[in-house]
Amino acid sequence: MATASPQQLLDDVINTEQQQHPQEEEEVLSSLEATLLTIFLSIIIIMTVFGNLLVMVALCKDRHLRKTKTNYFIVSLAFADLLVALVVMPLAAIELTTGRWQYGKIFCLVRTSLDVLLTTASILHLCCIALDRYYAICCQPLVYRHKMTPVRVAVMLSGCWLIPTFISFLPIMQSWNAIGIEDIIEERRVLRGGPNDTSCVFLVNWPYALICSAVAFYIPLALMVLAYQRIYVTAMTHVRQIEMLQRAGSAPVTGTIPVITVSPSTSTDPVEYYCLRTTTGSSSSEQSPVSNSHMRVETKAAKTLAVIMGCFCLCWAPFFITNVVDPFIHYTVPWQLWTAWLWLGYINSGLNPFLYAFLNRAFRRAFLVILCCGDERYTRQGSCSYGHTQGACSAASVNGTSMARRLSLLPNRSYSDNGRMVLANEHESQDSLRPPRS
């Protein structure tokens, strides 16, 4: 029997170590990636839970917020997003970081149904908020609170939660989404999870993909675009009417230069409210702010609407475009791309509190009171004040939806739009309709 020389033994050990070293590096790299991914996903989940929970607590503690119908849509939206963060995101994060599904086939269907239900409910709430603002701003501002009754608000909120059930639990638990593609789903399950069934594969046939995507994204997107486009046009029309009144001398401009500015602290409305402030002086050289004010207003309103619609489209459009295209290209989209688009949509649930509540002055004050352990100083702050100004400015608000519908240069004076008196807010509405005291 031939014995190996010491040199051959040394070469064998070196070759073995070289073969094992890349595997160890790959395992270490995989472990590092899983750790970083876990930290990143945990931050997303925690921020989403904190933001939406804060919105709900604010409504429970602040009775003034409960008087505004629009805020009920925002809080219901926060509840849907909170459930996304507490129920859907953790299970998706565990599956993503571990690479396997350990809870069985039935719970896989339940998790998928909850995913579709809650994310669709969140999107439908965004659509209802847009329609609520459109109705309040563009249609009948004075009678908004009489038209948007609690019953109608309840019907809209119920629709936001009931409609998604018809595209989530009903078809998914009955496996309607898998009709005609059973072999493809089984093949994917074996490839990803092996014979032990440790994967949660969800594929949809083309009829389900088209119907689900239309109900959950494309129809709400179209309604939101139309609503916010009309809101923007209405705001700009009102700004032009005010400028025409100023040029015609209908506004008291003697000794003052009216300048329309946009406050950075927005209310619940996507088009931020406009304040008309005055500065002393009447020389022609000081008229330049007037000529530039209209451009500033349009630019600020356009940016605000662009942020709201941009975040929504950026977060959900990639997923729903892929969802429609994938069945027609024989399900060749990589699962990694699916996962990236899905988590991008989840991030929208964390952005919604900042876009729809944190930009609301009333909500911000409630947040400060909560975070500062009930310090009531924040509830007594004025809504809009300027030093050394001759007039008061206020946001037109109809049931919490502020708009450029009331602009005043002097106290107890307001303008009307097309014959309709504009009210400052819901609490002032009744007093504004009473005749002035002698």
State the SS3 of the chain. CCCCCHHHHHHHHHHHHHHHHHHHHHHHHHHHHHHHHHHHHHHHHHHHHHHHHHHHHHHHHCHHHHCCHHHHHHHHHHHHHHHHHHHHHHHHHHHHHHCCCCCHHHHHHHHHHHHHHHHHHHHHHHHHHHHHHHHHHHHCCCCHHHHCCHHHHHHHHHHHHHHHHHHCHHHHHCCHHHCCCHHHHHHHHHHHHHHHCCCCCCCCCHHHHHHHHHHHHHHHHHHHHHHHHHHHHHHHHHHHHHHHHHHHCCCCCCCEEEEEEECCCCCCCCCCCEEEEEEECCCHHHHHHHHHHHHHHHHHHHHHHHHHHHHHHHHHHHHHHHHHHHHHHCCCCCHHHHHHHHHHHHHHHHHHHHHHCCCCHHHHHHHHHHHCCCCHHHHHCCCCCCCCCCCCCCCEEECCEEECCCCCCCCCCCCEECCEECCCCHHHHHHHHCCCCC
Determine the distance from the C-alpha atom of residue 108 to the mean position of all C-alpha atoms in its chain, rounded to a whole number. 27
Residue 153 makes CB contacts below 8 A (sequence gap 6+) with: 69, 72, 73
Which residue in 164, 178, 41 sits closest to 105, CA to CA?
178
pLDDT tens sequence for the chain (438 residues): 455 555 554 455 445 544 444 444 344 447 888 899 999 999 999 999 999 999 999 999 888 888 888 889 999 999 999 999 999 999 999 999 988 888 888 999 999 999 999 999 999 999 999 988 888 877 766 667 777 888 999 999 999 999 999 999 999 999 999 999 999 998 888 887 665 566 888 999 999 999 999 999 999 999 999 999 988 888 888 778 887 887 786 555 444 444 433 333 334 443 444 444 334 444 444 444 554 565 566 666 667 777 888 899 999 999 999 999 999 999 999 988 999 999 999 999 999 998 888 878 888 888 888 888 766 565 555 444 333 333 333 333 333 344 434 333 333 333 333 333 333 333 333 343 344 444
Report the alpha-carbon distance of residue 59 to residue 304 in Å, rounded: 24
Region of 266 on the Ramachandran plot (φ > 0 left; ψ -120 to 50 alpha; else beta): beta
The region, left, alpha or beta by phi > 0 then psi within -120 to 50, assigned to residue 409 is alpha
Q: Which amino acid is at 292?
A: N
What are the chain's domains?
34-247+294-376 (1.20.1070.10)
Nearest one of 255, 244, 241, 327 to 286, comparing CA atoms: 255
The pTM of the full predicted model, rounded to 2 decimals, is 0.74
Query: What amino acid occupies position 289?
Result: P
**How far, in Å, CA of 229 to CA of 141, rounded?**
17
Amino acid sitting at position 135: Y
For residue 271, give both structure tokens: 């088009």
Q: What token pair was written down for 168?
A: 């989530």
Contact 217, 316 (CB under 8 A): yes
